[in-house]
Structure 1
Amino acid sequence: MFDFFRQHRLLLAPMAGVSDEAFRALCREQGADLAFTEMVSAKGLSYANEKTRHLLRLAPGEDQVAVQLFGHEPDTMAAQAAWIEEAMGESLAYLDINMGCPARKIVSKGDGSALMKGPELAAAIVRAVRAAVEHPVTVKFRRGWAEGDETCVDFARRMEDAGACAVAVHGRYAEQLHRGSADWGAIARVKAAVGVPVIGNGDVRTGADAVAITRRTGCDAVMIARGAEGNPWVFAQAKAALAGEPEPAPPSVEARLAMARRHARLLAEREGKNIVRMRKHAMWYMAGLPGAATARARINACVSVEDFDAVFDELLACAQAHAE
């Protein structure tokens, strides 16, 4: 039994363009037990693509990460999993295979959740990767491909039979993308059907949600994705709630903007002066704040730490004036 999740119950999900080194560091500080890198293309790694390999870089002080690979060719997936294992050594916690991403540019190539339509190929990938590495291999997938056609239970059993050490289940169908609500019942049905640990994912935005999904599904760990965007504090709230302790109060405006500034600086330390990728994070941090609607246009023109600081200064002043 893969008992890793006895000590690692709160996970930051792999999110393309989001789970960068800076964001992972902030979420770990707030209580995430483990963070994933951004999902990594096996094909990109096979071309020795430095842009792809860059995604595997750890943040200062980061001891371990999990890495999620996506692709649909068993041999390529296996070879690149072996390369990751050799390159990362003890910094690698485990490898996950992405069979849940519903993005059109991913599924159009047969990757991500498209693999749920071909469980035989999906199982072949798991077997190939398991044979190529010594680290545990897990699989992340959705409730099913087509709306109304739940296949996750059978799919989970196939992945377990192929050698998956754990499975992560998102309670939406691939065709739903992010619409509607995640059905935690699907996660519970998978948990009842397999013997490996099950990670619950979907619509966890508060500490109370982390408790609720755990009780509803019996899942061994909770994976938080969009609920952490602009809100690394969700991990502190979830950790307290799962321990039966009062949740920390939501962050103040000052705390939200201070975290946004720190995030920008951490990005700049690793990326250089051009931190355009901070724009989406800034939007999330300032969502709902007084003056946020007006500030969005300015955020879309920000490039440097100084650019972002100027907008955050205005937002802080607006919030203080609004409170008077």
Structure 2
Amino acid sequence: MKIANIDLGPRPVLLAPMEDVTDIGFRLLCKRFGASMVYTEFVSAEALVRSVKATERKLAISDDERPVGIQIYGRSVDAMVEAARIVEQARPDLIDLNFGCPVKKVAGKGAGAGMLQNIPLMLEITREVVKAVSLPVTVKTRLGWDASHIIIPELAEQLQDCGISALTIHGRTRAQMYTGEADWGPIADVRRNPRIKIPIIGNGDITTPEQARRAFELYGVDAVMVGRATFGRPWIFKEIRDCLDLGPGAPPPLTNDEKIDVLLEQLRINVERIDEYRGILHTRRHLAATPVFKGIADFRPTRIAMLRAETTAGLTAIIEQARQMLARRDNTQAPQ
């Protein structure tokens, strides 16, 4: 599958852009484990135009993670166009427009999924950004504002006509936020539309390799995008790729020891590439969500200590303590 001239191979699996999650360390690990494409945290167009340093730092990318996209959001044509031009100087492989974020601080101000209530402005922004930059421009959005306004079949055609190179559809409305189940039926309808020529990327509730495989087989999407299921679990891309490419002949999954080594490496990369304080903050979010430590008896005090650690050495020691607890649990559960 190709997005413009970017060849992502057959049945690509993409890492979704997520605030405070898809920092450079995490992206590099996801890429190593088989992510076909990764995205930065989403970037506020208005903050970028105002040269807010914390926002500008999000533009830092590495050649080792390519292909990589930078996603921007905003509610002004001028700000989005100027931000896209700034982003282009960071040399990503593509620019993605966020018309799907449902959180109140974004959608409530008319940006992100808030654009689903102002389609003319969404289309104007898209057209003007496409004209302003030489990079491929893609869009991520939702089915509609609420269940009474499932507009994605018509919206997909309108966005394609604006010149975008691919469209990612999250199978929920803005009103749903992240509740309920993602509905892939409308995504499949868009993919089956003979007028749609651009790649359609499905997103929503891909939490296992089998779900990714079914998304390709049942809904015919060109690619799938994985979001929340990656938290503390960058190796999910290996699990999905093995399922898609090798099936029953796939090698065994990573051991718990190997997974903990990955989490420690993520900590190291984040501290080296950001700084100790923020690197630890970014890593703690993944440690809080990782499935590796689930099922360990009396783990709550260790988890709390993990989330309060303020130094690399201290956090590393707590993770190693958790490794020992996990080993004792596994030895106890092993058949005699």
Taking structure 2 as the reference length, what is the TM-score of the superposition?
0.90
Number of residue equivalences: 321
Instruction: Please say if 1:208 is aligned against 2:203.
Output: no
**Out of 191, 196, 199, which is 2:198 matched to?**
196
Matched residue, 1:103: 103
Separation (CA, whole Å) in 1 of partners of 2:236 and 2:311: 27
| Distance in 2 of aligned mates of 1:60 and 1:190 | 33
- The equivalent residue for 1:271 is 274
CA contact (8 A) 1:96 1:138 kept: yes
Report what 1:65 is aligned to: 68
State the Cα distance separating 1:242 from its structure 2 match.
Answer: 2.0
Number of the residue aligned with 1:31: 34
Q: Within 2, Cα distance between the matches of 1:152 and 1:206?
A: 26
Offset from partner CA, 1:184-233 (integer Å, 9 cap, x none) = 11210111232211001111122211111111221111111111111111
Q: Residues 165 and 61 from structure 1, CA distance in 2 versus in 1: closer, same or farther, beyond 3 angstroms? A: closer
| Conserved 8 A contact 1:22-1:59 | no
> Match for 2:289: what amino acid?
W
1:251: how far off? Answer: 3.0
- The correspondence for 1:76, drawn from 69, 74, 79, is 79
Identity %: 31
Q: Distance in 2 between matches of 1:321 and 1:83?
A: 52
Change (3 A) 1:3 1:210: farther
Deviating more after overlay: 121-130 vs 190-199: 190-199
Once the two structures are TM-superposed, the CA of residue 183 in structure 1 deviates from its matched residue by: 1.0
Aligned match of 1:303 in 304, 310, 316?
A: 310
Letter in 1 for 2:310: V
Using the alignment, how far apart are the partners of 1:230 and 1:48 within structure 2?
31
Letter in 2 for 1:156: A
User: TM-score, normalized by length of structure 1?
Assistant: 0.94
2:124 and 2:30 map into 1 onto residues whose CA distance is 34
Q: Secondary structure at the match of 1:176?
A: coil
Query: Contact 2:167–2:201 (CA<8 Å) still a contact in 1?
Result: yes
Structure 2 residue aligned with 1:290: 296
- Aligned mates of 1:4, 1:214 — CA distance in 2: 20
Q: What is the RMSD computed on CA atoms of the aligned residues?
A: 1.8
Moved more, 152-161 or 289-298: 289-298
1:207 and 1:237 in contact (8 A); partners too:
yes
- For 1:319, the equivalent position in structure 2 comes to 326
Query: Hey, what's the Cα distance between the residues in 1 that align with 2:302 and 2:9?
Result: 41
Matching residue of 1:93: 93
Q: CA deviation at 1:320?
A: 1.8
- 8 Å contact kept, 1:13–1:36: yes
Change in CA separation of 1:195 and 1:61 when aligned onto 2, cut-off 3 Å: closer
- Structure 1: runs of 5 or more not aligned: none
Distance 1:200 1:33 in 2: 14
In the alignment, which of 51, 70, 78 is matched to residue 54 of structure 2? Answer: 51
Q: Deviations over 1:258-279 (max 9, x none)?
A: 1111111111101222122221
- 2:130 maps to 130
SS in 2 for 1:174: coil
Q: CA shift at 1:296, angstroms? A: 2.2
Matched, 1:19 2:22: yes
- 1:115 and 1:146 map into 2 onto residues whose CA distance is 13
* Distance in 2 of aligned mates of 1:53 and 1:156: 31
1:219-256 Cα shifts (integer Å, max 9, x gaps)? 11111111111111111122122224334434322122
